[in-house]
Structure 1
Amino acid sequence: MADPATYRPAPGTIPTSPGVYRFRDAKGRVIYVGKAKNLRARLTSYFQDLSGLHARTATMVTSAASVEWTVVNTEVEALQLEYSWIKEFDPRFNVKYRDDKSYPWLAVTVSEEFPRVMVGRGAKKKGTRYFGPYSHAWAIRDTVDQLLRVFPMRSCSAGVFKRSQQVGRPCLLGYIDKCSAPCVGRVDAEQHRAIVDDFCDFMAGQTSAFLKRIEKQMYAASEELDFEKAARLRDDLGALNRALEKQAVVLGDGTDADVVALEEDPLEVAVQIFHVRGGRVRGQRGWVAEKTDDAELGDLVERFLQQLYDGESGEGVPREILVPALPTDADVLETWLSDLRGSRVRIRVPQRGDKKTLQETVARNAKQTMALHKTRRASDLTTRNQALEDLQKALGLSEAPLRLECYDISNLQGTEVVGSMVVFEDGLARKSEYRRFIVRSVDGQNDVAAMHEVITRRFRRLLDERVETPELLGGQVEPGESGPLLVDPDTGRARKFAYAPGLVVVDGGPPQVAAAQRALDELGIDDVPVCGLAKRLEEVWLPGQEDPVILPRTSEALFLLQRLRDEAHRFAITHHRGRRSKSMVESLLDDVPGLGEVRRKALISRFGSLRKIRAASVEDIAQVPGIGLRTAEAIVGALSSQGDDKRPAVTINTATGEIIEET
């Protein structure tokens, strides 16, 4: 591991111009490429105290052995050179968004005498018009098959076309009227070109004119009693409608746009993009990439757009790109993309209307992509075993922690303090073992004291419920020996806090870890290891240690701890929101005459939330046991006089400082 001071450039030697820089390792391999408006300001930031750098940035600068840079004239040139180098050197510390497959296009070879429609992948060629990209080749072929009966253009290869010319007979598509058979002279080049132009116009979104024209022809044939022609036109109309159903209109203005959304966690980022052409979704792509630094959302968007459109022709760049956050250098990106397209390209964050709705849809898809990615990793037995073994080695445990318990604390501005306990066994969630805690002895936002109380209560129950069950252990157990299972003597089932965990994980850093360890020490429990996962840098803290354990970002052990911590956080927030809703109802109903604690609880139990009680009629409320018609009218009057509560509902996770707002 190199000391960055050994290769730090001398003061004043770094220019202040725009440029691109490269970090190399001891073997000369490029490990990171970046660009900057001011090279001196950017590179100086890498050579500060390592404790002030993000963990991944610190790893990069200590892996490097030298740095070099290239000065350019403009930021647009820096943008282009940066990605050219990323493609050339494939640096391991740069985020790579591209997935491992190309996406299919619908292509029309308009430069040929008899243009052909086909499905293709890879680089685009001159003289060919492209539609898409699409997510599945089979979906394009199905659409084309529907359209060929209306637009019978050539779809065969050059070899098939030439052979049909030689033998004087069309292929099967010519016989079933899905090709106008220019190979045997049924139509000339000009007539075939007209069919091709109509097909391209239809695929470009100009659909209403064709539908009206065919419908008019169908009615005319019917009036002339040419029912066979009318039936054929009716079938053509149905084929067009079926093709359009697969390309639902999402933007009424018929715009061309790419809609991008990202869902990130500290280690990975899920990318989702919808390609909208002519107001219709023509394709959708999504994948998960590893994060290599703590870049903001706007920076991640910028890097993604660089990689998405690099090497694209003008036809591949839309007029508008909708993103969740504007890149820092949005104007530079717009200039670069406009040069590629040959006309103005806008990058913006949608604020309202159909585009905002579509952006939210893409964001949901990105979130589902991330969830599916995590689920697939969690469901693999080999991966789970590897995670537990890695965790054992990293923390120096005597055995793999088959049972993991994680604790989290949440409160509402120092009130309604709650704790959560989630359990993973063999790397999978054991939801029947989850527990909730209401912390009443802690005042204010003292999550350290709350963590101490929760750990104390959980393990005191472990000690209180311990009973000897020699028959389950396969032999006699002497009094005082540790390890007997906890079972209910009446039912024979494991009690609520039946098993001691192989590892206790707390959501937080050294203060929370120290509080948990102190609680165990006070109870005399010395065989349960404790660690904490700090969210900002994903550091693992152990009791009494000054420095954290840094797990590799690709470690399955770190991924397991993340899932455990996130689940504890989710469980705590869910509990907290339920209690907050009930406390709000109780506070609003305090002044209703004749409504005591028992009736309030019955009312909450029946409806579940303040919103549902407000929506209920007097007759519905009167059906709650113990509440008559007069009391129900008083409840409705009390809630009506209070009006809707417009205060923002804010939950604070004091271990992380995260604020969760409900609308």
Structure 2
Amino acid sequence: MTVRPTLRPKPGSIPTDPGVYRFRDEHGRVIYVGKAKNLRARLSSYFQDFGALHPRTQSMVSTAADVDWTVVGTEVEALQLEYSWIKEYAPRFNVRYRDDKSYPYLAVTLNEEYPRVQVMRGAKRRGVRYFGPYSYAWAIRDTVDLLLRVFPVRTCSAGVFRRARSSGRPCLLGYIDKCSAPCVGRIDAAGHRALAEDFCAFMAGETGRFLRALEAEMRRAAAEQEYERAARLRDDVQALRTVMEKQAVVLGDGTDCDVIAFAEDQLEAAVQVFYVRGGRVRGERGWVVDKVEDVSTGQLVEQFLSQNYGAAEADESTAGAAAAIPREVLVSAEPADRAAVTTWLAARRGAAVDVRVPQRGDKRALMETVAKNAEQALARHKSQRASDLTTRSRALSEIAEALGLAEAPLRIECFDVSDLQGEHAVASMVVFEDGLARKSEYRRFSVRGGSGAEHSDVAAMHEVITRRFTRYLEESQRSGELDTLGDSGGHAATDRSSGSSAPRFAYPPNLVVVDGGRPQVAAARRALEELGIEDVAVCGLAKRLEEVWVPDDEDPIILPRASEGLYLLQRVRDEAHRFAISYHRRKRARALTASALDDIPGLGPVRRAALVKHFGSVRRLAEATVTEIAEVPGIGTRTAQTIHERLTGTADTGGARHTPSDNSE
């Protein structure tokens, strides 16, 4: 797969000015839109060394049949044109943000003769004022129910409104004074619109003037001995205060800002936004994006800002909290071209916009909260994706098709090796059955081979695969059965409480995945062949470019970025890496702790291990008396005295305890 000869522009034909370029496929459809400060430098990078390109970029370039560009005057104009073209063409290789769920908004239909308050989802409509978004629709209904005491705006549908007008009888809300009943003429159109505008003003943050007005009226009613009306006004004030309490103050000085945080991995990213108006969080919203191109966090931030705020309308009737551009935009990472983004946003807003990463104080604390929400949203999205049966089935089918397997790999085992410059090498084995992790069958290995060799991880991989499948052959021969289904029933599901040990490696996988490229795959295949095992497939997933390597192939398999198969392989690989790292850290910590005993004469590996096992740590050993140390099997009184003096730097003549100095270990 290479670049089409007709795609490469003639040398020197590309200008060095800023501009926007488009790649098109053989049918003329735009598949990618990008911008550049220097068009020649940017476009030339696509046609230098095809093999050095990222696999996602390789896929885009090999799909393209033509490229064109438009020169603009400034980088800001390039940003604007790029946004316009992405919106117009929806190119398949550009990052596209989608809501991680359908968020409800509180909407006021100011475009109607009698405005209505309601819950709305989906695309925004012109002439409708939006507030939110909210996490749940019930939160909107609770808020509206409280505010209708003070602002009795119509909430009924058009059909209910027409029937009430025809019959001359209002609905229940009209009878209990939670609707001003414009349907039966209790209030005219102008008066009802004034109520709706006051409702919008309160939701937009103008809370003080309504509270002051109601409290003043309540005091007048009490002074005139109209106690029932004063009590009703008191309840109205309390209702407004309750609504305000639900919208906690997070920033002082009436700050208006959007707080945007990202959480990402190699395949996807989640974005979470808190909309702060008047110092209060007025709404929140989340997006999830498939990273179909190779982008940095700064580029993701820039693309999100252009796509999110590019749709902001100038008409105030449509400018809700999510649509309007605030004076301050706080982001978790600085956009790739901050100056251009800031200038572009300021032009759209008509006033200065400050885009920055908060460094300290309340804004930094709020950013950390939003970042946690983004991390949880990404984890929730991945969990939902992994738990879907149809998605898992598609992932296994895609893996089988890519690797040329006769059937879907129902049991997948992944191996990863972890060490530190060849020291304390360990390995992990994780098991996925039917696309789901089976943690009860995870295994850890302490690598027995040498250390420090240039390719020690390859040798370690060969050793671990050999040990795992040797145990499989031994246990399968003892049971008299070679099971390839991975079923934990029958003879293998031995009750631990009965005292008999359950076979730990009795089931072979359909597919072995190793964390690494061609050398690791070759080592795993060689280990299987040496044991005479030929019915287990092997592949490797290289971390840097997400390439899938198979034995005997010089080139890797590149799965599509949106492939569920690649997503499953990555989850398996990342789980093996996590499991190996956790074991390696524990083993290294124990080794470093025990190293304080290395220079004590008379202590070999067996005695050192016995001491650490008996006391749990060198610190506890140093706190022990000579008598207590001598109680360890194999440790005499003289050796115990030497150990105590070396660890504490003092002599002990009795049973007193000594605490080691800070650097004694």
Shorter-normalised TM-score: what interval?
0.7 to 0.9
Corresponding residue to 1:388 among 379, 396, 399: 396
Q: Are the aligned partners of 2:18 and 2:37 in contact in 1 as well (CA < 8 Å)?
A: yes
The amino acid across from 1:377 in the alignment is: R
Residue 436 of structure 1 corresponds to which residue in structure 2?
Answer: 444
Q: Return the TM-score normalized by structure 1.
A: 0.80
Shift of 1:365: 2.4
Residue 327 of structure 1 corresponds to which residue in structure 2?
Answer: 335
| CA distance in structure 2 between the aligned counterparts of 1:518 and 1:144, rounded to whole angstroms | 69
The amino acid across from 2:86 in the alignment is: I
CA 1:239–1:598 in 2, change beyond 3 Å: closer, same or farther? farther
Equivalent residues in 2 for 1:267-306 (5 A)?
A: 267-306=267-306
Shift of 1:285: 2.1
CA 1:441–1:241 in 2, change beyond 3 Å: closer, same or farther? farther
Residue 89 of structure 1 corresponds to which residue in structure 2?
Answer: 89
Corresponding residue to 1:453 among 463, 470, 473: 463
Please, which moves more after superposition, 553-562 or 340-349? 553-562
Residue 37 of structure 1 corresponds to which residue in structure 2?
Answer: 37
Corresponding residue to 2:550 among 524, 531, 542: 542
Shift of 1:118: 4.9
| CA distance in structure 2 between the aligned counterparts of 1:382 and 1:166, rounded to whole angstroms | 51
| CA distance in structure 2 between the aligned counterparts of 1:518 and 1:632, rounded to whole angstroms | 59
CA displacement 1:447-506 (0-9 Å, x = unmatched): 223222322322232334343435898xxxxxxxxxx98798997764111112222111
The count of aligned residue pairs is: 618
Helix, strand or coil at the partner of 2:96: coil
| CA distance in structure 2 between the aligned counterparts of 1:166 and 1:521, rounded to whole angstroms | 85
| CA distance in structure 1 between the aligned counterparts of 2:538 and 2:348, rounded to whole angstroms | 55
CA 1:526–1:187 in 2, change beyond 3 Å: closer, same or farther? closer
Corresponding residue to 2:405 among 397, 400, 409: 397
CA 1:35–1:235 in 2, change beyond 3 Å: closer, same or farther? same
Q: Identity percentage over the alignment?
A: 62
Q: Are the aligned partners of 1:124 and 1:313 in contact in 2 as well (CA < 8 Å)?
A: no
Q: Are the aligned partners of 1:274 and 1:285 in contact in 2 as well (CA < 8 Å)?
A: yes
The amino acid across from 2:426 in the alignment is: V
Q: Are the aligned partners of 1:34 and 1:82 in contact in 2 as well (CA < 8 Å)?
A: yes
Please, which moves more after superposition, 517-526 or 52-61? 517-526
CA 1:456–1:208 in 2, change beyond 3 Å: closer, same or farther? farther
| CA distance in structure 2 between the aligned counterparts of 1:305 and 1:298, rounded to whole angstroms | 11
Q: Residue 421 in 1 paired to residue 429 in 2?
A: yes
CA 1:500–1:331 in 2, change beyond 3 Å: closer, same or farther? same
Shift of 1:53: 0.8
Residue 387 of structure 2 corresponds to which residue in structure 1?
Answer: 379
Q: Are the aligned partners of 1:205 and 1:279 in contact in 2 as well (CA < 8 Å)?
A: no
The amino acid across from 2:386 in the alignment is: A
CA 1:291–1:441 in 2, change beyond 3 Å: closer, same or farther? same
Structure 2, unaligned runs of 5 or more: 484-489, 633-643, 645-651
Residue 69 of structure 1 corresponds to which residue in structure 2?
Answer: 69
CA 1:581–1:215 in 2, change beyond 3 Å: closer, same or farther? farther
Shift of 1:374: 2.5
Residue 57 of structure 2 corresponds to which residue in structure 1?
Answer: 57
Q: Residue 338 in 1 paired to residue 346 in 2?
A: yes
Residue 660 of structure 2 corresponds to which residue in structure 1?
Answer: 638
| CA distance in structure 1 between the aligned counterparts of 2:145 and 2:195, rounded to whole angstroms | 15
| CA distance in structure 2 between the aligned counterparts of 1:632 and 1:360, rounded to whole angstroms | 51
CA displacement 1:278-306 (0-9 Å, x = unmatched): 22222222232222211111111111111
Q: Return the TM-score normalized by structure 2.
A: 0.80
Residue 376 of structure 2 corresponds to which residue in structure 1?
Answer: 368
Q: Are the aligned partners of 2:476 and 2:482 in contact in 1 as well (CA < 8 Å)?
A: no
CA 1:238–1:460 in 2, change beyond 3 Å: closer, same or farther? same
Q: Residue 462 in 1 paired to residue 472 in 2?
A: yes
CA displacement 1:143-165 (0-9 Å, x = unmatched): 12211212345556789889989
The amino acid across from 2:80 in the alignment is: Q
Residue 258 of structure 1 corresponds to which residue in structure 2?
Answer: 258
Shift of 1:547: 0.9
The amino acid across from 1:21 in the alignment is: Y
Helix, strand or coil at the partner of 1:4: coil
Residue 552 of structure 1 corresponds to which residue in structure 2?
Answer: 560
Q: Are the aligned partners of 1:487 and 1:493 in contact in 2 as well (CA < 8 Å)?
A: no
Residue 148 of structure 1 corresponds to which residue in structure 2?
Answer: 148
Helix, strand or coil at the partner of 2:477: coil
Q: Are the aligned partners of 2:516 and 2:541 in contact in 1 as well (CA < 8 Å)?
A: yes
CA 1:493–1:343 in 2, change beyond 3 Å: closer, same or farther? same
Helix, strand or coil at the partner of 1:418: strand
CA displacement 1:317-336 (0-9 Å, x = unmatched): 12222222111111111111
Residue 540 of structure 2 corresponds to which residue in structure 1?
Answer: 532
Helix, strand or coil at the partner of 2:12: coil
Structure 1, unaligned runs of 5 or more: 474-483, 646-663
* CA root-mean-square deviation: 4.2
| CA distance in structure 2 between the aligned counterparts of 1:113 and 1:399, rounded to whole angstroms | 63
Shift of 1:67: 0.8
CA 1:341–1:398 in 2, change beyond 3 Å: closer, same or farther? same
CA 1:164–1:457 in 2, change beyond 3 Å: closer, same or farther? closer
CA 1:151–1:581 in 2, change beyond 3 Å: closer, same or farther? farther
| CA distance in structure 1 between the aligned counterparts of 2:222 and 2:34, rounded to whole angstroms | 68
CA 1:458–1:161 in 2, change beyond 3 Å: closer, same or farther? closer
Equivalent residues in 2 for 1:472-491 (5 A)?
A: none
Please, which moves more after superposition, 64-73 or 404-413? 404-413
| CA distance in structure 1 between the aligned counterparts of 2:479 and 2:207, rounded to whole angstroms | 77
Shift of 1:554: 2.8
Shift of 1:40: 1.0
Q: Are the aligned partners of 2:106 and 2:140 in contact in 1 as well (CA < 8 Å)?
A: yes
The amino acid across from 1:577 in the alignment is: R
